[in-house]
Structure 1
Amino acid sequence: METLLIGLATFAVVCASPGPAVVAVVTTAMARGFGATVALTLGMALALGGWGILAAAGFGAVLAAAPSALIALKILGGLYLIYLAWGAGRSALDTTEGAPPPVVASFRAGLLLNLSNPKSVFAWTATIAVGTPVDAPELAWLLVPLAMGVTVAIYLVYGFAFSRGPMRLAYRRLRRWLDAGASALFGLAGLGLIRDGLLTLWRRNPAP
């Protein structure tokens, strides 16, 4: 049980740390309210759980042994993050607020956001390695749903905190600057994934 708790704590730290997912939760909460944040969180949790199941089944090792698939996933994920950066950048340049997208769109955005990050399977692989007792490898299948629950709880806490009236009022005043910051973060994360993919490709096929 202690090993399992260590794995959960490790995963909680990763999920709570600033990154594209946390930025998406915070900006969604401030711009669209808690309901949209719940939908976004459920989408992200579903995608994350999918990566977790693959990791528990040993897909991390398979992916590491298949560089071409990993390169493709990194580049596609990077392109999606750049697409998010483009959307946030357009919002930053728009002087009108516009109508908020439907809740289904928030769910879909969360699903695609975490599906676009192949590094998730390696984070899961590390968490399972840390949090699964050597003499009870079957507990990896228990760790995955527990970690998903921790993830949902963390994101909902962020969402609740940033969907309060004062935070939403601050967002309305600083919307363009905050959207510009989100655009920069998504863009940097996307370029980082694409760079990793291209570096992997270059190492496999170095120039003569």
Structure 2
Amino acid sequence: MTSLLPLLLFVAVATITPGGATTLATASGARFGFTRSIPLMLGIALGLALLAAVAALGLGGLLAAMPVLQTAVKAMGSAYLLWLAWRIARSGPPVTAQGTPGMSGTSAGAAARPITLINGFLLLWLNPKSWAMTVGAAASFALLAPSPNRLALLLGASFGAAACVSLALWCALGVLLARVLSTPRHWRILNLAMGVLLAASLIPTWR
């Protein structure tokens, strides 16, 4: 257990620190509640677990060795995140179960839907930061397992479990924030802030 402690600390810090995934979990929790945000969180956690396993098997190194492929992933991931940031920033207060906008005079939010499990999964795989994090972990902790297959299981389980916990905490924070938002203006401020933070999470990717 002692030999696994550095890995567990690395995974905990990597998944709990603010970023695109945690921002989305917070925004989804505030707008849709915890239960309706579960598919998003599961999609991200499953995507991260599989990505960590792939990195441990050596396939992640292929991306690191191909600058053209790296740029393509960055471009696609950035475009998707910016689109999500735009949607979040422009969204209004949540709507009621009957489709009536909560405390809002428009029905612009009526068509809003939580991000699905598949979209959460794709979001994670299109995030270059996730590739860098998992490839780095695979290189740093390769000696913890006797074979690439064992390392894939270890990293996949560690990153998947840690992502579930960290995303749940950030989503719960969003739920708590929603309880203090009493006017449409409060919601506009929160949504704009979440959109800006999500867009800003791309800055380290292009440095």
Shorter-chain TM range is 0.7 to 0.9
Percent sequence identity is 27
Q: Does 1:129 align with 2:139?
A: yes
Aligned length, in residue pairs: 192
Residue type of the alignment partner of 2:167: Y
Per the alignment, residue 99 of structure 1 pairs with 110
Instruction: Give the distance between the partners of 2:105 and 2:9, measured in 1 at CA.
Output: 42
Per the alignment, residue 81 of structure 1 pairs with 81
Q: Does 1:154 align with 2:166?
A: yes
Greater CA deviation, 69-78 or 114-123? 114-123
**Any unmatched runs of 5+ in structure 2?**
94-103
Residue type of the alignment partner of 1:110: G
Deviation, structure 1 residue 60: 2.4
Instruction: Give the distance between the partners of 2:75 and 2:44, measured in 1 at CA.
Output: 20
Structure 1 residues 54 and 135, CA, compared in 2 at 3 Å: closer, same or farther? closer
TM-score, normalization: structure 1? 0.79
Structure 1 residues 135 and 157, CA, compared in 2 at 3 Å: closer, same or farther? closer
Deviation, structure 1 residue 4: 2.3
Deviation, structure 1 residue 136: 2.5
User: Is the Cα–Cα contact under 8 Å of residues 4 and 144 in structure 2 kept in the other structure?
Assistant: no
Instruction: Give the distance between the partners of 1:24 and 1:124, measured in 2 at CA.
Output: 20
* Cα deviations by residue, 1:122-161 (Å, 9 ceiling, x for unpaired): 2112223333426734441223212211211221133234
Per the alignment, residue 200 of structure 1 pairs with none
Q: Does 1:118 align with 2:124?
A: no
Structure 1 residues 175 and 144, CA, compared in 2 at 3 Å: closer, same or farther? same
**Any unmatched runs of 5+ in structure 1?**
197-208
Q: Map residues 36-51 of structure 1 onto 2, 5 A cutoff.
A: 36-51=36-51
Structure 1 residues 112 and 134, CA, compared in 2 at 3 Å: closer, same or farther? closer
Residue type of the alignment partner of 2:47: A
TM-score, normalization: structure 2? 0.80
What value does the CA root-mean-square deviation take over the aligned residues? 2.6
User: Is the Cα–Cα contact under 8 Å of residues 86 and 183 in structure 1 kept in the other structure?
Assistant: yes
